[in-house]
Amino acid sequence: MIFCILANATIVPLLVRFLYDPNSRKYGSYETRNLMHLKPDAELRVLACVHTPDNVPAMVYLLDLSCPTKESPNVVYVLHLIELRGRNSPVFIAHHNQETSTATSSFFENIIPFYEYEGNNWDSVTVNAFTTITPLKLMHDDICTMALDKQTSFIILPFHRKWSIDGSLEEENNVVKNLNCNILDQAPCSIGIMIDRGRIQKSMKPSSSSSFSIGMLFLGGNDDREALMLAKRMARDPRVKLTVIHLIAYQDCKNVVYWDTVLDIEMLKDVKQNNGVLGNGCDIKYVEEVSNCGAQTIKLIRSIANGYDLMIVGRRYGVES
């Protein structure tokens, strides 16, 4: 009898802890809220996560290129992430535009540029700013919960590496890397990791007279289809010239058709035809490249990497995500 009680007291809690994942249950019913299920003319809800002021310029540029309009607006939720040190209680702050006159230096550098972006697009962009001060081990849950509460379709995260203007690696942050991995595992919507190679400076502002060349590397699969949906949305901006590079493996040319291939073909149909399905004035170029091996693929990617202002790629290929 005593043995059974001890077994129940030790083994059962361990089994429950191993088998039960509250986060997967919490976000399970929200799987279809992503870029793939977002109608082309629907409101785009974005959660932009910021650690430092260095993250801000590239994010504002990306949001500006997502082509917000009065009919298809952007609702941006900016979340300033601050690590909680010591034994203080976590804090969550909702900011308002009225606070800008008394803002701290940290708030000014991290949040104000997003309000300026809203002011430049007053009829098509709404910005709501928040700060979370929480332990690192809980930060991913704050981000996923906010995405769930605000019904966002897209989360933008800063990459864990930072480059200088000359292209050399300046910093690598393993804390941010682990945070991003946790969010990728649990997020209830699409995720984009913003890799800034140091070319966009704080003083630079998006301009209506500028032109932007965007390259989208399409290998196929669910993640690449989501990336293509984002690229299509950006292509509606008259400033944008989009090139879709469809990289085809040599063995895929042998008339082997999988379900994923069928979905890829359907997604690429309007890009190939460029028949106005994406809207008037779109500047889209479609290119097919056949690769025989991994070395040739790497060579191709390196040859095009610096030819565009922005490159969009899916996170992985051939893996269910």
Q: 108-148: per-residue pLDDT in tens?
A: 678 889 999 999 999 999 999 999 999 999 999 999 999 99
The residue ranges of every structural domain in the chain are 23-194, 212-313
pLDDT surpasses 80 at 258: no
* Contact call for residues 309 and 244 (beta carbons, < 8 A): no
Mean pLDDT (the chain) is 81
Superfamily grouping for domain 212-313: HUPs (3.40.50.620)
Locate tokens 């942050």: which residue? 173
As beta bridge partners, residue 232 has none
| pLDDT given for residue 25 in this prediction | 47
Domain at 23-194, CATH class: alpha beta
Q: 23-194 with 212-313: one CATH topology? A: yes
* Contact call for residues 222 and 321 (beta carbons, < 8 A): yes
Other beta carbons within 10 angstroms of residue 115's beta carbon come to: 17
Residue closest to 267 by CA, chosen among 305, 308, 212, 226: 226
| pLDDT given for residue 194 in this prediction | 94
Cα 218 to Cα 225: distance, rounded to the nearest angstrom: 8
Q: Report the percent of the chain where pLDDT is more than 70.
A: 76
The pTM for the full model equals 0.83
Other beta carbons within 10 angstroms of residue 80's beta carbon come to: 23
- Say which amino acid occupies 128: N
Q: 165-175: per-residue pLDDT in tens?
A: 777 787 889 99
pLDDT surpasses 50 at 85: yes
Cα 156 to Cα 194: distance, rounded to the nearest angstrom: 7
